[in-house]
Amino acid sequence: MSYTNTAFAWIERQRDALSAWHRTIWEYAEPAWREYRSAAWFIARLRAAGFEVEEASGGMPTAFAARWSNGAGACVAGYAEYDAVPGNCQAAATRRAPRAGLSEHAAGHTDPHSALGIGALAGILAAQHAMQTHGIAGTLKFFGEPAEKVQGSKLVHGLRGYYDGLDAIVSFHPFYMLPLCNTTRWDTHCGAYASRIYSFVCDQPETWSQAAGDSPIAASHSSARAPGANVALFTMYSMGKSTLESMLAHTGGWSLNEAILTAGQATADNLAAQLAQINYAWRTPDLGMANAILEILDRNADHAAAIAHCRVVKRWVSRTRPGVANHTLAALAYRRLETVGAPRYGEEAVRLAREIQSNLGMEPMDRPFLPACETLIDPREAERQLRAQMPAWQTNWTSDDYVEMTWYAPTVRLYIGRPMLAAPAGYSGYPAWVANALGGLAPCIDPTVQVAGKTIAATLLDVLTDPAVRAAARREFDERTGGSHHLAPLLPKDFAAPIDYRWPEYVETARGREWGIPRTADLEDPTSPAA
């Protein structure tokens, strides 16, 4: 039996286990920087398989770096992501409903990273099994990458040297955005990303103005008071909206989003709010565009702070470079994907999908899944279709923090279709809960995990056993990242992830484990069956 067939057979034998593993991480659904249970689960599983695991790698409590060696040889890597998204709590069901005991405001897997992590783990463990069976020398590394939704960990691992010396990295993601289903990225990789927290602090409100002349205290309730941090935050928020059209031309698919992390004292009092924090994240095709947005945001923050009698603290969450292609690995991984084939949805998956459509008041379709999710597309053809939607000058599209890996080692970006429903003619689009639910329904999501695991395992084994592939991938990497093409990291080597900020998380209270926003009857959507 070939090493490829050995790896495939291992995954076939582990079908039920992989499904259960995935459901475990999917149910944990822990958000960025707070994936404590998920990280612990992966660490325990890897140690049980004989890997040496460094916990809290790069100073990140929910990150890890695992290593297993079968003797001197090449070194290849994969990674897991496992963070979920606040406000997307959905049960593995065919109707809209949060997971038991939680509000809809809790976190849930959207992409889903649960399938990403388990698919990648399946690939690494299947490769390990084949290496042991066939005596293949080399080293496997597997990284736990938290906080991808804020693009937080990979740049830190890179700065700390965790990716140094690797011969190849397989970066896998479940995907559905056309035309990039079931393929590898060719030339147009993800672009630049930046995320920055602006904290407004009003720690000297008494210096705003004179108290009333007849007041015995400096902060009389009847005196004019400092506007405070809330005013600064919402002034910046308003300025961000009003200056949006002055940041960049409306081309290239750039975006700017914001999230309020902390606002005031959460008590309606007449004292000046001491602290308010807003997080801006922006995606651009290139660094010049990213820097143009940064300049305006920083200027807005300075003015907002001055207006509200605050000081402003600016802290990076992430700042990544555009991704680098590697045709050698992209072609190799796609050939292996052709061997495996695209995901296929069986009778039970089709039944569940049709039940969702029926519950939405639609006529169930004979084939309810988006055809592209079950179809391979050659990376060169996917590239052609993608470029047809973009201006000629644009070299990168959307964002993901795998791009930082591409500057440290030859990297392939692998996409495997995730289950998505086809829309009948004239339908405005499925509500978000549908995709989230499909990611938790085993008959629908398991094919993604299995195809990913097989493709990753075969690709890693090919790199380990073929010096010519390694040499070609390295030559291409050196050409694309060296000389005039080189871009240094955008943050210093000692950059620390902002794990100490108030990111959303589950909390333990006298009432038990719950989301930070508790389930409250009058906050439930009255149109939801769960209300």
The confidence score (pLDDT) of residue 224 equals: 64
Query: Is-contact 442 23, C-beta < 8 A?
Result: yes
CA separation, residue 322 to residues 145, 153, 174, 296, 381 (Å):
19, 16, 20, 21, 22
Neighbour tally for 167: CB within 10 Å = 24
The Cα 504–Cα 506 span in angstroms is 7
In this structure, the strands spanning 168-175 and 75-80 are parallel
The confidence score (pLDDT) of residue 215 equals: 59
- Reported as half-sphere exposure (CB side, CA atoms, 13 A), residue 95 has a value of 8
3-state class (DSSP) for residue 219 = coil
Query: Which residue's entry shows tokens 């930046």?
Result: 194
Neighbour tally for 16: CB within 10 Å = 10
Note if the bond before 447 is cis, omega within 30 degrees. no
Q: Give residues with Cβ within 8 angstroms of 77, minimum separation 6.
A: 140, 141, 142, 143, 163, 166, 168, 169, 170, 409
Kindly list the structural domains of the chain, giving each domain's residue range(s) and its CATH number in brackets, ordered by start.
3-189+323-345+377-392+399-485 (3.40.630.10), 193-320 (3.30.70.360)
Q: 361: alpha, beta or left, given left = phi > 0 and alpha = psi -120 to 50?
A: left
The confidence score (pLDDT) of residue 36 equals: 97
The Cα 172–Cα 178 span in angstroms is 16
Q: What phi and psi, each to the nearest 5 degrees, are found at residue 28?
A: -60, -50
Tokens of 193: 């990303």
Element (H, E) at 327: helix 327-340
The Cα 425–Cα 157 span in angstroms is 46
Query: Which residue's entry shows tokens 């080692």?
Result: 409
The confidence score (pLDDT) of residue 341 equals: 98
The Cα 174–Cα 439 span in angstroms is 10
The confidence score (pLDDT) of residue 396 equals: 95
Total residue count of the chain as it appears in this document:
531
The confidence score (pLDDT) of residue 428 equals: 83
Buried b (16+ CB within 10 A) or exposed e, 350-377: bebbbebbeebebeeeeebbbebbbebb
The Cα 242–Cα 300 span in angstroms is 11
The confidence score (pLDDT) of residue 21 equals: 98
Give the pTM.
0.95
In this structure, the strands spanning 411-417 and 183-184 are antiparallel
Closest Cα to residue 364, out of 427, 417, 418? Answer: 427
Q: Hey, which residues does 79 pair with through a beta bridge? A: 143
Note if the bond before 216 is cis, omega within 30 degrees. no
The Cα 79–Cα 129 span in angstroms is 17
The Cα 12–Cα 340 span in angstroms is 12
The confidence score (pLDDT) of residue 219 equals: 55
DSSP state of 272: P
DSSP state of 284: E
DSSP string, 255-266: EEEEEEEEETTS
Query: Which residue's entry shows tokens 């200027």?
Result: 299
The Cα 15–Cα 122 span in angstroms is 10
All residue ranges of the chain with pLDDT < 70 are 210-224, 526-531
Closest Cα to residue 414, out of 362, 355, 336? Answer: 336
**What is the Cα Rg of the chain in Å?**
25
The Cα 416–Cα 5 span in angstroms is 20
